A and B are shown apart, each in its own frame.
Chain A
Amino acid sequence: MDRTQDLRDTRELVLSLRGISKHFGAVSALTDIDLDVHAGEVVALVGDNGAGKSTLVKILAGVHQPSSGSITFRDKPVTLADPSAALGLGIATVFQDLALCENLDVVANIFLGRELSPYRLDEVSMELKAWTLLNELSARIPSVREPVASLSGGQRQTVAIARSLLLEPKLILLDEPTAALGVAQTAEVLDLIERVRDRGLGVIMISHNMEDVRAVADRIVVLRLGRNNGVFEPDASNQELVSAITGAANNSVSRRASRRQAQTGQAPAPERRP
């Protein structure tokens, strides 16, 4: 992709990770991870279960601290000691397990931790802003005054994404943003990701869905067992990606594919290493 290549050279480097490692006791969740994200770029982070994607996102969100390595955000070395530090810098996160308070209504959740006028909550302005954000996402939320417990999974995802946009962040981390969504809502979220990118924000997106990844990502970074395992352009073949993700050309996905092709009487596709 020439466009991405050009942009990467000229655009500001929003985030740069060098040699990030994270140990949980004897387990190394991440080892020597390098990652760059530029402004106006969508970087997809893919990998199998346990590859360390969520751990990496939690480090960037300030939930975990790295055991070693350096984080550079907008040309300054930073330490993300807690979630509010990350938010303060302009790193917004939409977590896989959503992190909404089910007992509070939609407005309260969107403005959680950022309420307007602390000593006399400005409910009208907050509700108005909440509707504006949700309408930008063309979200179908029945009422913003119902507790979040009454919303469906997709609606909760929308609320979570709307919340991350409230602060006008520089970098958005999306952990499985389309996992719980229907077809139309997935397309809307992908549209939204592109809109966010066009506004000059950096986006890191974790997904298991290769179709979604290829649809929006400018670069695909593969993690495997906590290590970098290749960077791909969005036009990379499914097979290349799967090989990088599983770490072997002869994996369960390719075996299944060749089995199915053998059944339909076609020759199995040649297998390549990345």
Chain B
Amino acid sequence: MTKGAEQNTQAAPLLDRSDERVKHAEGIGGSVRAFWDRVRSGDLGSLPVVVGLAIIWTVFQSLNPVFLAPNNLVNLLFDCSTVGVIALGIVCILIVGEIDLSVGSVSGFASALVGVLWVNQGWPVSIAILAALLFGALIGALYAVLFNRFGMPSFVATLAGLLSILGLQLYLLGSTGSINLPYEAPLVNFGQLLVMPDPVSYALAALPGIVMFVLGYRTAARRREAGLSPQPLSSLLLRPVVVTVVLEFIVYYLNLDRGIPWMFGLFVGLVVVMNYALTRTKWGRQMLAVGGNREAARRAGINVRFIYMTAFVLCSSLAAAGGILSAARLASASQQAGTGDVNLNAIAAAVIGGTSLFGGRGSAYSALLGIIVIQSIASGLTLLDLSSSLRYMITGAVLAIAVIVDSLARRSRASHGRA
């Protein structure tokens, strides 16, 4: 802050700075200190996942130098997108403090449905996809009714769903067991090959920084007008610049190989939309309120049942969408789709990314960060030619560690007076 601004503040205290007991971060150094204080009190945000990712990448890179090669990372992004979309749904349901254990089965059934309707029955692919998404939404609505009307705990309802929908998937695929999707179809291309042209990817990578700065600047101007403390220009500039530099570097590095997959672009697009919905809309605010204190939300006049309904429906719909993407990625709909570790990977991704299992805390970006961690482990172990037995064990251990970190951070937040 300049001297003139300081005098200005003293002359007429800003509405939100009139209490002299509160420390306010000044400038970049202050922002860093405030961040450190937050971390120490257990408000970890996405710090554990960044640290974890650094460790995982260092270990795998030292074991196999191919790991961080652009080619492998592009593959990683393709693989991320499918389970990542499912994890995004899990974020929604975890925020309201519930769980959906059937996302794997729903995704598997959605892929089977697309296979049967499109390849076997000859429906247009768009209608088949729509039908699969609609099925996902219906399943979510059913869970919500069981939860809202019969008070069925969500983990039991969705555990029942896990088995029933898996059965439905096996029934639908019948004796053949799997359906191959045509290789030349646009859907399969989208899942396996399509990448952004270089200029498009550079432009898209510049977009977040620009939007961030413009919105931040406008908010600061409005706050100044309203007599509230505006964010100083230095920190207003710092974040967009850092974000843009990092993103452009990532894009440059991946463009050394094929480039950014469109499927990953779709996933990130969904994450951004979800983040906006959770942080900037009334619906998102009410989701967090219901997850934080259900009774308080009800007494504030929030339609709690409706909020649960949207959470369950979104979760199952996104699971179906993830299933369709994975069918496109594998060019097949099989009995194995959605089984095995899909369920756990999706849940682990959300939790590792920083969404609390206890409800009321979480962000859409945790799905993105978490799935990159999970997929890095899977990819690294595959490169080392390790069997899936070991992969399951390691992923399980990572999930356990993530939950322990979540739990300890929650306790620390409670003792430091942060929710």
Contact = CB atoms under 8 A, between A and B. Distances in A.
**Pair from one complex:** yes
B361 interface: yes
Given A124-B219, A149-B419, A100 B296 contact: yes
Given A101-B288, A142-B22, A118 B302 contact: no
A124 B226 contact: yes
Contacts of A145: 16
Interface in B11-36: 15-16, 19, 21-22
A140 B292 CA distance: 24
Contacts of B295: 99
Contacts of B282: 115, 118-119, 121
Interface in A142-173: 142-145, 147-151, 163
16 contacts: A82-B301, A83-B300, A98-B296, A101-B297, A103-B288, A103-B360, A104-B292, A104-B419, A108-B289, A112-B297, A125-B226, A127-B16, A131-B15, A149-B417, A149-B419, A163-B300
B149 interface: no
A7 interface: no
A265 interface: no
A87 interface: yes
A99 B290 CA distance: 12
Contacts of A124: 219, 222-223, 226, 228
B410 to A, nearest CB: 11
Contact of A112 (B16, B289, B418): B289
Contact of A149 (B21, B283, B285, B418): B418
Interface string A73-87: 000000000111001
Interface in B350-398: 360-361
Interface of A: 61, 63, 82-84, 87-88, 93, 95, 98-104, 108, 112-115, 118-121, 123-125, 127-128, 131, 135, 140-145, 147-151, 163
Nearest to B281: A119
Contacts of A135: 15
Contact of A148 (B222, B291, B299, B419): B419
Interface string B407-419: 0000001101111
Contacts, number: 117
A147 B419 contact: yes
Interface of B: 15-16, 19, 21-22, 219, 222-223, 226-228, 280-283, 285-286, 288-289, 291-293, 295-303, 360-361, 413-414, 416-419
The 7 A-B pairs of least Cβ separation, nearest first, read A84-B301, A103-B292, A118-B282, A103-B419, A149-B419, A113-B300, A150-B417
A88 B301 CA distance: 9
A213 to B, nearest CB: 25
Given A84-B303, A142-B21, A102 B285 contact: no
A87 B301 contact: yes
A108 B301 contact: no
A151 B22 CA distance: 12
B185 to A, nearest CB: 36
Nearest to A120: B280
B285 A83 contact: no
B293 to A, nearest CB: 5
B19 A101 contact: no
Given A83-B300, A95-B299, A119-B281, A149 B222 contact: no
Given A102-B292, A104-B289, A112-B302, 16 more contacts: A84-B301, A99-B300, A100-B296, A103-B288, A103-B360, A104-B419, A112-B297, A112-B300, A113-B289, A124-B226, A128-B15, A128-B228, A135-B15, A148-B419, A149-B413, A149-B417
B418 A147 contact: yes
A118 B419 contact: no
Given A93-B299, A102-B292, A103-B291, A140 B19 contact: yes
A120 B293 contact: no
Nearest to B219: A124
Contacts of A84: 301-303
B226 A128 contact: yes
A257 to B, nearest CB: 39
Contact of B293 (A61, A83, A100): A100
Contact of B22 (A95, A113, A143): A143
B301 to A, nearest CB: 4
Contact of A101 (B21, B296, B301, B303): B296
B19 to A, nearest CB: 5
A150 B285 CA distance: 19
